Amino acid sequence: MANPGNSASSRDVATLLHPQTNFRAHEKQGAVVIARGEGVRVFDEDGKDYIEGMAGLWCASLGFSEKRLADAATRQLNTLPYYHIYNHKSHDPGIELAERLLALMPVPMSKVFFANSGSEANDTVIRLVWYYNNALGRPKKKKFVSRQRAFHGSTLMAGSLTGLPALHREFDLPLGGVVHTDCPHHYRGALPGESEEDFATRLAENLEKLIIAEGGAETCAAFIAEPVMGAGGVVVPPRTYFEKIQKVVKKYDMLMVADEVICGFGRTGNMFGSETFGIQPDILVVAKGLSSAYLPISGIAISDPVYQAIADNSAKVGMFGHGFTYSAHPVAAAVAVETLRIYEERDILTHIRAVAPVLQDGLRRFADHPLVGEVRGVGLVGAIELVRDKATKEAFRPDERIGPRVAKAAETHGLIIRAMGDSIGFSPPLIITADEIDQMLARFRKGLDEVWAEMGREAQK
């Protein structure tokens, strides 16, 4: 770096606004500039390698160098780089992707709508559900029930579905029409001695109370949930949770929306998290793993009753007045088709099921570390929650920033992971091998032990 003033990091600081970032901290610490990727690793501009323990943002399922995806994009760019699907136009990549997606669905679905991101997809869900209930002559039935600590995106309405205070505060969110029920985190939310089943029963009862308080079946339209909460800290629901929640949702004639943006395409050990947890959604949202994140694309699959109602209304009012310039973008769709082919040809589910125990058992070996309060996870996603006191579960103060400190320490040892508060998330590319999982966890242990030792020294001062 001959001229640090002109390094990529300082050019970054001079020009780029980063998502979900403390800008003043960024000015001081600068950027880790990632230059290339290979398998489950990425390399910074100095050539240092990192295992990508989060597959980027839970999305690069096939790792960072899948040539078949680059070739699929190039072929499509050279054939038809862009076309839309408005005005009764269509193209083969969009059609094939819809066919393949519908064939994978965990419950029968009728049609797919494409957007470019998870946020746009969830905004689309809201518009769809409002349109659907207008179509059925139920103009008051519009409220969405989401959950505390949910993450459903960052646009105004998807951001309103999100249940994370840091994404609401200072932005005047949530907007009206969205209410939040309990987060199903047994470790943090259960009463002393309460079993997972009893906790789930109580949460279902609370959901029913909330729905009644909000006006019941007349006003409550849909319940939206990630099968495993991701950005809220990797929250795996307690046993019997979705079974009990779903009964309430059905009782009030609400639609069940599964946000499978993280869980879709194998993450939890089945093709969809809905299968892992027995969810029967009316609407299912995918993104991220749909294209292994090589190009932005998301999809919303809807059941036939939902389709029939909105189709009738589109005929009555003239159209379904919603869509994006890039809905079913042909290059993104071609890459997604190739991604789904690869999942099938390489039998990605069998691979995930073979290596998931290596990750889950490996994470659980951290349970007796003095900083670790809880280890949780399923399939190829997990988290380690750090606490001040294991016995009382006392958390660190947010300003102590222990989670980010451990993540930073792991990074110096060549592992990129994500601190969500003091929960450290793991969601590696689905192609990761058992050996690479061992390397990933060894790098994490170095970072964790280093912070623990530093904390001991700081306490003696």
> Cis bond leading into 174, ω under 30°?
yes
- For the CB of residue 323, give the shortest distance to ligand PMP in the complex, in Å: 17
Across 7-36, b (16+ Cβ under 10 Å) vs e yields bbbbeebeeeeeeeeeeeebeeeebbebee
Residues 136-175, interacting with ligand PMP (CB under 6 A): 151-154
Q: Which residue is nearest to ligand PMP (CB)?
A: 118
- For the CB of residue 162, give the shortest distance to ligand PMP in the complex, in Å: 8
Residues 58-77, interacting with ligand PMP (CB under 6 A): none
CA proximity to 162, closest of 146, 176, 182:
146
Q: What is the Cβ-side half-sphere exposure of residue 332, based on CA atoms within 13 angstroms? A: 23
Residues 240-259, interacting with ligand PMP (CB under 6 A): 259
Our CB check for ligand PMP shows the closer of 297 and 440 to be: 297
Gap between the Cα atoms of 26 and 358, Å rounded:
35
Q: How many residues bind ligand PMP (CB under 6 A)?
A: 16
- For the CB of residue 443, give the shortest distance to ligand PMP in the complex, in Å: 23
Gap between the Cα atoms of 157 and 174, Å rounded:
8
Across 327-353, b (16+ Cβ under 10 Å) vs e yields bbbbbbbbbbbbbbebbeeeebbebbe
- For the CB of residue 407, give the shortest distance to ligand PMP in the complex, in Å: 17
- For the CB of residue 226, give the shortest distance to ligand PMP in the complex, in Å: 5
Gap between the Cα atoms of 253 and 12, Å rounded:
50
- For the CB of residue 144, give the shortest distance to ligand PMP in the complex, in Å: 14
231 binds ligand PMP (CB under 6 A): yes
In this structure, which amino acid lies at residue 168?
A: H
262 binds ligand PMP (CB under 6 A): yes
Tokens of 345: 């040809």
268 binds ligand PMP (CB under 6 A): no
Which stretches of 6-148 are DSSP H helices? 8-15, 23-29, 55-58, 67-79, 92-104, 118-135
- For the CB of residue 201, give the shortest distance to ligand PMP in the complex, in Å: 25
235 binds ligand PMP (CB under 6 A): no
- For the CB of residue 178, give the shortest distance to ligand PMP in the complex, in Å: 14
Our CB check for ligand PMP shows the closer of 54 and 310 to be: 54
Which stretches of 175-219 are DSSP H helices? 186-189, 196-213
3-class SS of residue 184: coil
- For the CB of residue 294, give the shortest distance to ligand PMP in the complex, in Å: 14
CA proximity to 358, closest of 264, 450, 426:
426
3-class SS of residue 443: helix
Q: Is the dihedral of CA 26, 421, 386, 364 positive or negative?
A: negative
The one segment of 190-198, 223-231, 238-246, 264-272 that binds ligand PMP by CB under 6 A = 223-231
The one segment of 194-202, 209-217, 225-233, 382-390 that binds ligand PMP by CB under 6 A = 225-233
Structure-token match 């269509």, residue found: 90
In the chain, count of helices (H) and strands (E)?
17, 15
The one segment of 224-232, 340-348, 354-362, 453-461 that binds ligand PMP by CB under 6 A = 224-232
Our CB check for ligand PMP shows the closer of 232 and 362 to be: 232
Our CB check for ligand PMP shows the closer of 297 and 448 to be: 297
- For the CB of residue 141, give the shortest distance to ligand PMP in the complex, in Å: 23
Residues 284-313, interacting with ligand PMP (CB under 6 A): 287
Site string for ligand PMP, 349-378 (x = CB under 6 A): ------------------------------
- For the CB of residue 82, give the shortest distance to ligand PMP in the complex, in Å: 20
Our CB check for ligand PMP shows the closer of 183 and 441 to be: 183
Contact residue for ligand PMP among 66, 208, 226, 385 (CB under 6 A): 226
119 binds ligand PMP (CB under 6 A): yes
Gap between the Cα atoms of 323 and 285, Å rounded:
16
CA quadruple 233, 237, 242, 243: dihedral, nearest 10: 180
The string of DSSP letters for 369-435 reads: STTEEEEEEETTEEEEEE-SBTTTTBPPPGGG-HHHHHHHHHHHTTEE-EEETTEEEE---TT--HH
Our CB check for ligand PMP shows the closer of 37 and 118 to be: 118
223 binds ligand PMP (CB under 6 A): no
Contact residue for ligand PMP among 34, 57, 173, 395 (CB under 6 A): 57
Our CB check for ligand PMP shows the closer of 260 and 411 to be: 260
Residues in the site for ligand PMP, rule: CB under 6 A? 57, 117-119, 122, 151-154, 226, 230-231, 259, 261-262, 287
